[in-house]
């Protein structure tokens, strides 16, 4: 193991312990959800709840929407890699030399 990676392992273990403690204690939140708050305002205004325009509870529509979003984000970040991370992101060779990549 690399000596520089020790802090990363410590943070990962700390987050894992924190998540385990949160699951084991299982303290319920006293906060209301957005649906409960909005439905309260709607009832005060004299409106009733209705079905959503696009109901993602049926089938795999929600999975498809997240997959398309992930594909779009991956394509955009891959296309704009150099703009996002600069030329230092191209130092992939063991010697640290930058490959011959034409500028955009």
CA distances in angstroms from 10 to 4, 17, 18, 24, 69, listed in the order given: 11, 11, 12, 21, 32
pLDDT in tens, 8-48: 888 889 999 988 888 777 766 666 778 788 888 888 888 88
Using pLDDT thresholds of 50, 70 and 90, give the confidence band for residue 1. Answer: very low
Q: What is the mean pLDDT of residues 57-62?
A: 82
pLDDT in tens, 70-89: 999 999 988 887 777 766 65
- pLDDT at position 88: 60
What is the 3-state secondary structure of the chain? CCHHHHHHHHHHHHHHHHHHHHHHHCCCCCCCCHHHHHHHHHHHCCCCCCCCCCCCCCCCHHHHHHHHHHHHHHHHHHHCHHHHHCHHHHCCCCCCCCCCCCCC
pTM above 0.85, yes or no: no
């Amino acid at each position: 193991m690399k000596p520089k990676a020790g802090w990363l392992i410590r943070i990962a273990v700390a987050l894992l312990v924190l998540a385990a403690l949160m699951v084991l204690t299982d303290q319920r939140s006293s906060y209301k959800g957005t649906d409960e708050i909005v439905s309260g305002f709607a009832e005060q205004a004299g409106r009733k709840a209705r079905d959503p325009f696009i109901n993602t509870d049926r089938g795999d529509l929600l999975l498809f929407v997240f997959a398309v979003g992930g594909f779009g984000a991956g394509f955009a970040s891959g296309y704009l890699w150099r703009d996002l991370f600069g030329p230092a992101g191209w130092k992939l060779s063991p010697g640290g030399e930058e490959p011959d990549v034409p500028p955009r």
